Structure 1
């Protein structure tokens, strides 16, 4: 008898279903007329993520994994690699001697490394691995994207504790808590069905000190994920962000980097960048790259500054949007 594929064996332990996503949104907000229409756009994203996750468990070797990921439609290929990050993270937690995730990030997955880190973070809440310890072993600049994925997962699947009660998981502190909120904000975009009023109302329930990072997550989701918003809706979000508009702009700029790295431009990324930055996505990505030069000249390793290099880069992007020099320190909390 042929052994069952690992993905099949692990489904009862790590159940994920794209069909559950719209049901969760309806449970939180009740039946909403716009949800079904929005889900038609979200569905390919959710299915690609889930299917790639289970496929990676069955085909983790690069020579068989990469062609399967690259067979995804161009606009969804980055999501497929994010799902691969999920699968490889789970495999590494079960069989730590293989270290499949870093080999993939520094190998054929390198063009999608940002999304692979986010995918790894999506699995982190479900495996017996200390988040802070796992972070300490990752790239010092990009490791905060792991916490972005962690925040997305918890915001989506632990709504009552994380969103309604405004809790942060135990052991998440310092800058890791801020990166967690980036992902939490991104999850709100999906959880609310990308409805402007629901997004605004939900963010405004959070303490003011957390709202900037949540708006940043909204900016990233709006510009990167499935395009369901028109120009007027994005304008409304930008206006509603108020004093946190620069944070939303920062998330939008990072989304433009994600699109550039994956080599797959998207009209909704250009639209969001045009509304927020008055530039097309490629020009915003160039701004984000340039904003990283001062950080790189100062060294990217954390520890030389009270803020992680990733946050210093974000501050440089924010300052370009504001049109002002970066203050000596704008951190809301000291770095982890």
Structure 2
């Protein structure tokens, strides 16, 4: 009863993920259902994380979620675990996920931690130095997604507005870029998976932010889906000179689904269109092959290793015939 009460008290209301409540664009009923199912599944994973006796029990429940949406459940579980740990003064639940079956979903779990940061006072934020030095920037991706999703007026409808941010990991300038990657991912939801609407939202931001926004949107359109091949090609055309960033985000999504064993039909379509005719496994291999050497050393003087990795992926994944075709279409 106490655990059920904890779940009820800590879990956000599913109504908060409905497109009408958020004021997001509705492309069609199919896309609406897809995005709302993503939101509901995220909260299901969150609830499992805060109600279960242990991370292992929560993972047993998470494995019952349909494959297409299980990654979003793990994202929610990452948020739930971070929230629970913040209130109990430990990192037991989150570490349980990252050291258990959740290690196959580490991208999504770390993004979920960023959601928790957006809801917690700063003194309860988790210690960023506890995380993988390469992947910890995904936490800020999650933070940015949350802010654009729930504070849409400030972060999306007022694109010129600045939001200074520091989280104690250094590279404050890059922190803003990592947050933009999350905002770009959220724009796929705000724009209702309509490539024309999403591209219009990105265009309203200052030009220097477009590469990271397209990278985030590329991840979302590949991982969350709800766009057909024709729409994905149109989105690639909208990206123009930022196509390599869009492709990099798509490759990240392919790697996240492949690593977790959650690849679906849409992943194949998106990888073929945005990653130069590659399969999701081939796109994922590009990501793993280009991980910076000496990963354990973490960030370096010239900037975060995470950004070095992203640049290498963008350069490699986009040097394919499709880019030339897209450029002349």
Q: Which residue of 1 aligns with 2:29?
A: 36
Q: How does 1:123-202 map to 2 (within 5 A)?
A: 123-129=116-122, 134-166=127-159, 167-172=161-166, 173-202=172-201
**2:201, 2:114 → 1: CA distance?**
23
**Corresponding residue of 1:80:** 73
Render the CA deviation track for 1:78-118: whole Å, top value 9, x for unaligned.
22211110110001111113532123212231111111001
- Is residue 49 from structure 1 mapped to residue 45 from structure 2 by the alignment? no
Counterpart in the other structure of 1:5: 5
Mapped partners of 1:57, 1:5: distance in 2: 10
Match of 1:242 in 2: 240
SS at structure 1 position matched to 2:89: coil
CA gap 1:38/1:113 in 2 versus in 1, 3 angstroms: same
Match of 2:281 in 1: 282
Separation of aligned partners in 2, 1:60 and 1:301: 35
Q: Which residue of 2 aligns with 1:305?
A: 301
Contact 2:214/2:246 (8 A) holds in 1: yes
Q: 1:321 aligns with which of 292, 314, 317?
A: 317
Which residue number in structure 2 is paired with residue 332 of structure 1? none
Query: What TM-score do the two structures reach when normalised by structure 1?
Result: 0.86
**8 Å CA contact 2:65, 2:73 repeated in 1:** yes
Q: For 1:217-296, what aligned pairs fall within 5 Å after superposition?
A: 217-225=216-224, 227-276=225-274, 277-292=276-291, 295-296=292-293
What is the CA-CA distance between 1:62 and the residue it aligns to? Answer: 2.5
* TM-score between the two structures when normalised by the length of structure 2: 0.88
Following superposition, the deviation at residue 28 of structure 1 comes to: 5.2
The ranges of structure 1 where at least 4 consecutive aligned residues each deviate by more than 4 angstroms after the TM superposition are 130-133
* 1:23 corresponds to: 20
Deviations along 1:144-187, one digit per CA (max 9) or x if unpaired, are 11011101000111111111223453324321111111110000
Q: Say how many residue pairs are matched.
A: 312
Gaps of 5+ in 1: 325-336
Once the two structures are superposed, residues 211-239 of structure 1 have per-residue CA deviations (whole angstroms, 9 ceiling, x without a partner) of 100000111011111x3111111111111
Provide the residue aligned with 1:327 in structure 2. none
Structure 1 position 301, deviation (Å): 2.8
Residue by residue over 1:22-46, the C-alpha shift from the partner in whole angstroms, topping out at 9 and shown as x without a partner, is 1145x355xx5x3433112223221
Q: What is the CA–CA distance in structure 2 between the aligned matches of 1:256 and 1:91, rounded to whole Å?
A: 30
Contact 1:301 1:309 in 2 (8 A): no
Conserved 8 A contact 2:111-2:142: yes
How far 1:300 moved relative to its partner? 4.5
Q: Which runs of 5+ in 2 are unaligned?
A: 167-171, 321-329
Report if aligned partners of 2:219, 2:246 keep a CA contact under 8 Å in 1.
yes
Q: Which segment drifts farther, 137-146 or 126-135?
A: 126-135
Alpha-carbon distance between aligned partners in 1 of 2:126 and 2:30, rounded to the nearest angstrom: 41
Corresponding residue for residue 202 of structure 2: 203
Contact conserved, 1:18 with 1:43, CA < 8 A, in 2?
Answer: no
SS in 2 for 1:310: helix
Q: For 1:174, what is the secondary structure of its paired residue?
A: helix
Q: Does the Cα contact within 8 Å between 1:188 and 1:218 map onto a contact in 2?
A: yes
**Residue matched to 1:334:** none
Q: Distance in 1 between matches of 2:125 and 2:116?
A: 14
